[in-house]
Amino acid sequence: MKNKLLITILASTLLLSGCAAVDNGEYYSFNDIAGIETSNIIDFKVSESIYTSFAWQYQYDDYSFLNTKYEKVDFSIKAEIFDKEPSDGGDAITIHLMTDILLETYPTQNYSFNMYISYADYHLYYGSTIEGATNAYRSKNRISDKYISLLKDQRNRDGAYLLRVSGNSNASPDLPKTGHYAPGHKFSFKVEHVTDLTFYAYLNKELLTPVKDDGTLGGYSFYEFEMPSQDSALVITSDEFYVYRPYSFADVFSWVNAITKDTLKGVRIEDGYIGVDPETANPTIKYSEDERDIDYNLMVLETEPLVKTENQHVDGGTYRLVTYVLNNSAEYEIEINNGHVIYRDFDSYQEFRFDSTPTNMPDVFYPESD
């Protein structure tokens, strides 16, 4: 996946100006104009007119009409499509696309945008709809009748739903294929155990449990599931934590279950800056054994939700190191960099964001004096 910040800036620039150019010749690709690949699309809906809010799911896997050549043209989408009456050449088939790329907004939103097939010429247009935007990208060729028919197909084909599948076919030789399946259709597949890697199977962001497991090297974990009554996604990944899925602190740090009011003696907070020379760094450290701070931090660990995000690996910014000191002298730490909770393992680095408003971060409010 592309860097989230880059996509955010690119998407904002394109949608606000509608005329950002990519100097690669006379024609541009879908990636050039939209800043994404069609593989980033997670939701694709169609409405027959700009005047209606009703939209239906595009139910086909053929996106080739998007992956076409585009040319930059002097064309105002607002003036030609939105402001003109249909009898005068206005209006368009509207394509609503949502991607798996998160924008840096609060609350977090997926990068989404629209494209338009003008009823005047049946070309596909991308660009800004704001007043004064006079440039747009237009498909080199008109969209064929074949794709117009597919786009206008509002039927749920034979009651089937789309299953999108991604994973390593070498590790899972009988992995189901992306396609449409009737609710209740039974699937079974296996995933191999390989050296230094553990694979996980997720259906609609929920971890699947093997029905049988041969844990030896070269053995397999065996899975079964039925097709849900909705468009779904099956993902086979070596990432223990699924991006955008919610987790609790205990899900991420198993030792959290050992921290209770009876076992927690105190909490130490260290705040500082990332990348500062240790010899000149002057972090702020505070420690508390106050019952109010104990209760507050236990509440945070028990109730504060986390969401797995794309890893940022930012070199600068601020950090908070939280240390939980137990009565038996054991200590456990949580690292928070730029507001993201960090999980580190021998071969894994993961980031999680807080997912509540207001956010309750680990902290102490009644520190002991020096």
pLDDT of residue 126: 96
The model's pLDDT over 19-75, given as tens digits with 9 standing for 90+, comes to: 333 444 589 999 999 999 999 998 898 999 998 877 888 878 899 999 999 999 999
Q: How far is CA 289 from the centre of its chain?
A: 39
Residue 273, domain member (yes or no): yes
* Residues 327 and 264 reside in one and the same domain: yes
Clarify whether residues 32 and 165 are in a common domain. Answer: no
Confidence class for position 150, pLDDT limits 50, 70, 90: very high
Beta-carbon count within 10 A of 262 CB:
7
C-alpha dist (Å) from residue 256 to 4, 252, 305, 326, 351 = 30, 9, 14, 12, 17
In a domain, 370, yes or no: no
Q: Are 122 and 142 in contact (CB under 8 A)?
A: yes
Q: Is residue 292 a contact partner of residue 365, using CB atoms and an 8 Å limit?
A: yes
3-state secondary structure of 184: coil
57 and 195 fall within a common domain: no
Q: Do 131 and 196 fall within a single domain? A: no
- Whole-model pTM? 0.50
pLDDT at 90 over 90: yes
Q: Based on the structure, what is the number of domains in the chain? A: 3
Query: Which residue, 297, 296, 286, 292, is CA-closest to 368?
Result: 286
- Verify that 124 and 168 share a domain, yes or no: no
Question: Domain limits at 147?
Answer: 4-155
Average pLDDT over residues 313-339: 92
Same domain, 119 and 217: no
| pLDDT band per the 50, 70, 90 thresholds, residue 281 | confident
Specify whether 150 is located in the same domain as 163: no
pLDDT value for 158: 61
Q: What is the mean pLDDT of residues 317-346?
A: 93
Verify that 273 and 205 share a domain, yes or no.
no
Residue 11 structure tokens:
């998407």
Collapsed DSSP state (helix, strand, coil) of residue 12 = helix
> C-alpha angle with apex 217: 214 to 218, nearest 5 degrees?
80
Model pLDDT for residues 136-147, shown as the tens digit of each residue: 999 999 999 999
Answer yes or no: is 68 within a domain: yes
